Chain A
Amino acid sequence: MSTTEKLLEGTGRWFDDRLRTARPVRTFLRKIFPDHWSFLLGEIALYSFIILLLTGTFLTLFFQPSMTDIAYHGSYTPLDGVHMSEAYASTLNISFDVRGGLLMRQIHHWAAILFVAAIVCHLLRVFFTGAFRKPRELNWLIGVVMFTLAFTEGLFGYSLPDDLLSGTGLRILEGVLLSIPVVGTYLSFFLFGGQFPGHDIIPRLYIIHVLLIPALLLALISAHLFLMFHQKHTQMPGKGHTDTNVVGQPMYPYFMAKTGAWFFFIFGVTALLSTFAQINPIWIYGPYNPSGISAGSQPDWYMGFLEGALRMWPSWHWDVGGYTFAFNVFVPALVPLGLIMTGLAVWPFLEQWITGDRREHHVNDRPRNAPTRTALGMAGVTVYGIMWLEGANDIVARFLNISLYLTTEIARYAIFIGPVVAYWVTKRICLGLQRKDVHLLEHGVETGIIRQLPNGEYIEVTRPVDEEKQAVLEARSELPQIEAPVGDDVPAPSARGGLGKLRVSLNRVLTESIPLPHGNGHQPNGHGNGHAGEPTAVTAGEAGPESLEQADGDGSGD
């Protein structure tokens, strides 16, 4: 036994004698992690968060969360003698008088941008692949809460330097709070410690930003990871991938090395961005004053959709009995956010209710195989995207050289038309892709070889898809059936009453799909087998195994 082995042996024994760790740690080391590029998105969020903790801690060593007015006499001479808050002055000091301070500030800001972006991408991946389905609804909810916390954390963080841009953001926050019916004025006075801007908002945001929200995020991330470990990760469809196994590489040494490398890449890329791509140059914006602003004021990207909602909403408001309903502010500021977050939170349960699917799912859906969910997701992305673009409509107008007001008018229509178009187009694309899959399964892959038969007929030779591909193409969780009443039949209990009828019609829409070729041992036969037309989309109610043959061949179109 070598010295190293003896040392490891000794350490292992020391811990096992006290904690009985041998067995759980071995299970941990042998845990299998499936591979897919999209599984790395959540890791980006995780590692950005770690970068944020590290750089954020550094910044707190030098930052003064104080709104005390001082005259600046630091290294940034253009602002020499200018009155500013201590918060702003200390941010200047971090940038110009602390070695590595500017780099840390920029890494912190870039990592924050990346953090929220990675959360959004990870969330979209989980949504579009149906990875939120049973048993992962709880982890989905934790994720939605973390998403909300993440951009709130971002908003509070970039407000701390008390520069002109972020102060304007706080002014908008005050306006939004004031608009809330009944309690708004009080909320604003309590948050700001009186009238805007007061002297309390920066210290208060600071403690929320460095303690409260990070602690919550840390707890929720731990829970998120624990549940992921406990329930085991989902896997993408593939040969041998089932709902009762997990196929991949073990934690030790494979996943450890890969995820370690990924952490280094993410830290490396944020460092590279912070070296060459300037972010939030607060010395150019100047200290906050309520009278100043610059054209093209934009929040960080993740607040853009709210900014856009505020821009596009008309000036509707009511004065009723001496009180003001400022619909022009609180509706766009709070309703889209509420709708998006609530919609995300309830979707897994709504989908489960509509489909009646209460099984566990561990193999992800390919987005095309859940056309309605994918289409709804794209409709949501479109609404978000239009609001987000409208949040930069002054930049868009200048870039496209069109009228500023025209961009807003377009957005006001697009917010209604866009999602409908996105829904329809996405659903057609998904069903089209499903037809392509069915075609591949039935007819095989084109080889490009044209052969003449003895009778003079030309045929194209195809070959069956390989096993790996076939497993992917055939991976489709068939949904259970909710019986719709046919004629005078008695409807199933789940389909009775108004709610039941609604459920049945939603079920029809949600389960629309192109049926797979019948039978497990299906072999592509290499030439046309007399299908009259394209396969038709059917819903779960029509696509029982016994009806597949019929549905397969009727070719009546959608």
Chain B
Amino acid sequence: MSESQPSHGLAPEEDGGRSRAPHRVIGTPPPAQARTLLGEAPGSAEPEAPRELPAGPDNPAKASTAEKVIAACFLLSMLASIGFIAAYVGLEVHSVDATLRSNLALGLSMSVAFLAMGVGATIWVRSIMPNVEQVEERHPLAASHEEREAFAKTFKEGAEASGFVKRPLLRRTLIAASVPLAVAPLVVLRDMGPLPGTSLRHTVWRRGMRMVVYGPNTPLRAADFSIPGQMITVAPEGFTENQDVLAKAVTIIIKFAPGQLVPNTPSKPGTIMNWTVDDIVAYSKICTHVGCPVALYEQTTHHILCPCHQSTFDATNGAQVLFGPAPRPLPQLPIGVDSNGFLIATSDFHEPVGPAFWELG
């Protein structure tokens, strides 16, 4: 139809009317009928090309039933969309219950609107459109030998004309110019962050700094622990809202019964008893695997467990690794009491806390 651009109503030119459009004097109306895109121009004498698709459904009786079902689906979808708008206008949010009501109304109407459209369109394809199976030939993907030769020739001629091959000075200086140009975008990323320096080796803990219970932010006395008990998360006083500080300095303290802690000896690693107060021991809460907080503590076994990757540490024994991917014990924080009896750190951690890094050593 449109493919061969037939020139209906005009005399074909000598070469069959293929070479060019007929000349037209400026000001005359365009030869509209010569360029029909849909259907044949009226009065055309040429025979119609055979149909590629049947005009009607395979089963007209089924199709007329399907038509009603499809129309019902589309009407349902329309109603649901109107319902969606109504729910948006009519239902307020600003509380959990109201939000849930709104979510239910909006979501349900939206789901129905979409699903009904989907169902309608599916029935349309299956029951109205005649079932056809067509075969399209595949053409070889590779170009012909001649086309490839022509391409090679064009490419070669272009390369020759450019002098890229013949003039190595140009070629090499161009490459030399490109390299730093390509590196420059990487260099400008440098200011995305400061250099690490030794910052991963230190926390804010200092001699005399009080430990406060994380959350209520109250200081702790050693005497507050009457019986061996749970794991308590503590933070350095004054830094309880500082996430950057807490990400390294957050610490757990556990009170043990006398004799439960296994002291460190030259032959066997354990808890450094000089760094404890009344059998209260403090460890970094940041897992030495990838830095999750080791937040689970099992009192009966004294196991500290990281919920992320299940590294397990023995709290009595200098937090030695019992299981899991953590490579080293949780660093122990030296603690003492100040003149008012409050728990304090007596220094910073003596080794870096948290996950291993290249310069850890």
Q: Is A393 an interface residue when CB atoms closer than 8 A count as contact? A: yes
Q: Which residue of B lies closest to A311 (CB)?
A: B309
Q: Which residues of B contact A181 (CB under 8 A)?
A: 358
Check if B244 sits within 8 Å of A311, measured CB to CB: no
Interface residues of A (CB under 8 A from B): 1, 5, 8-9, 12-13, 16-17, 22-23, 26, 30-32, 69, 75-76, 83, 95-103, 106, 135, 168, 171-172, 174-176, 178-186, 188-198, 200, 204, 231-232, 240, 243-250, 253-254, 257-258, 260-265, 267-269, 271-272, 274-276, 288-297, 307, 310-311, 313-317, 319, 322-324, 326, 328-329, 332, 360, 362, 393-394, 404-405, 408
Q: Which residues of B contact A404 (CB under 8 A)?
A: 310
Q: Given the known A-B contacts A172-B308, A190-B193, are A32 and B135 also in contact in the complex, defined by CB atoms under 8 Å? A: yes
Check if A275 sits within 8 Å of B108, measured CB to CB: yes
The contact of A245 among B111, B114, B138, by CB within 8 Å, is B138
Q: Is B324 an interface residue when CB atoms closer than 8 A count as contact? A: yes
A253 to B54, CA, bound (A): 12
Q: Which residue of B lies closest to A324 (CB)?
A: B360
Q: Given the known A-B contacts A96-B94, A98-B93, A195-B244, are A189 and B293 also in contact in the complex, defined by CB atoms under 8 Å? A: no
Check if B102 sits within 8 Å of A175, measured CB to CB: no
Q: Which residues of A contact B200 (CB under 8 A)?
A: 178, 185, 195
Check if A314 sits within 8 Å of B325, measured CB to CB: yes
The contact of A95 among B88, B99, B113, B235, by CB within 8 Å, is B99
Q: Which residues of A contact B3 (CB under 8 A)?
A: 22-23, 26
Check if A324 sits within 8 Å of B293, measured CB to CB: no
A37 to B310, CA, bound (A): 42
Interface residues of B (CB under 8 A from A): 2-3, 32, 35-39, 42, 52-53, 88, 91-96, 99, 102-104, 106-108, 110-115, 117-122, 124-125, 129, 132-138, 141, 189-190, 192-196, 199-200, 214, 233, 235, 241, 243-244, 246-248, 250, 285-286, 289-293, 295-296, 307-312, 321, 323-327, 354-361
Q: How far is the CB of B243 from chain A (nearest CB, A)?
A: 5
Q: Which residues of B contact A97 (CB under 8 A)?
A: 93-94
Q: Given the known A-B contacts A23-B2, A245-B135, A272-B111, are A9 and B38 also in contact in the complex, defined by CB atoms under 8 Å? A: yes
Q: How far is the CB of A180 from chain B (nearest CB, A)?
A: 7
A69 to B246, CA, bound (A): 15
Q: Given the known A-B contacts A185-B196, A244-B137, are A22 and B2 also in contact in the complex, defined by CB atoms under 8 Å? A: yes
Check if A8 sits within 8 Å of B309, measured CB to CB: no
Q: Which residues of A contact B286 (CB under 8 A)?
A: 290
Q: Given the known A-B contacts A5-B39, A197-B244, A265-B114, are A291 and B214 also in contact in the complex, defined by CB atoms under 8 Å? A: yes
Q: Which residues of B contact A1 (CB under 8 A)?
A: 39, 42
Check if A291 sits within 8 Å of B108, measured CB to CB: no
Q: Which residues of A contact B250 (CB under 8 A)?
A: 290-291
Q: Which residues of A contact B358 (CB under 8 A)?
A: 178, 180-185, 323-324
A175 to B38, CA, bound (A): 65
Check if A103 sits within 8 Å of B110, measured CB to CB: yes
Sample (11) of A-B pairs whose CB atoms are under 8 Å apart: A13-B32, A103-B106, A168-B308, A232-B136, A250-B132, A258-B122, A260-B121, A268-B114, A269-B111, A323-B360, A332-B325
Q: Which residues of B contact A310 (CB under 8 A)?
A: 289-290, 309, 325
Q: Which residues of B contact A178 (CB under 8 A)?
A: 200, 355-358
Q: Which residues of A contact B243 (CB under 8 A)?
A: 197, 288-290
A295 to B306, CA, bound (A): 9
Q: Given the known A-B contacts A171-B290, A291-B214, are A271 and B124 also in contact in the complex, defined by CB atoms under 8 Å? A: no
Q: Which residues of B contact A193 (CB under 8 A)?
A: 192-193
Q: Which residues of A contact B112 (CB under 8 A)?
A: 268
Check if A172 sits within 8 Å of B291, measured CB to CB: yes
Which of the listed residues B92, B117, B250, B356 has the most CB atoms from chain A within 10 Å of its own CB? B356
Check if A31 sits within 8 Å of B193, measured CB to CB: no
Nearest 5 A/B pairs, CB to CB: A175-B290, A275-B107, A268-B114, A264-B118, A261-B121
Q: Which residue of B lies closest to A258 (CB)?
A: B125
Which of the listed residues B115, B138, B241, B358 has the most CB atoms from chain A within 10 Å of its own CB? B358
Check if A329 sits within 8 Å of B325, measured CB to CB: yes
A335 to B341, CA, bound (A): 51
Q: Which residues of A contact B325 (CB under 8 A)?
A: 310-311, 313-315, 328-329, 332
Check if B357 sits within 8 Å of A245, measured CB to CB: no
The contact of A292 among B42, B93, B293, B361, by CB within 8 Å, is B293
Check if A99 sits within 8 Å of B93, measured CB to CB: yes
Q: Given the known A-B contacts A324-B356, A408-B310, are A319 and B93 also in contact in the complex, defined by CB atoms under 8 Å? A: no
Q: How far is the CB of B63 from chain A (nearest CB, A)?
A: 14
Check if A232 sits within 8 Å of B138, measured CB to CB: yes
A250 to B324, CA, bound (A): 57
The contact of B355 among A12, A179, A289, by CB within 8 Å, is A179
A400 to B257, CA, bound (A): 35
Check if A265 sits within 8 Å of B118, measured CB to CB: yes
A276 to B106, CA, bound (A): 11
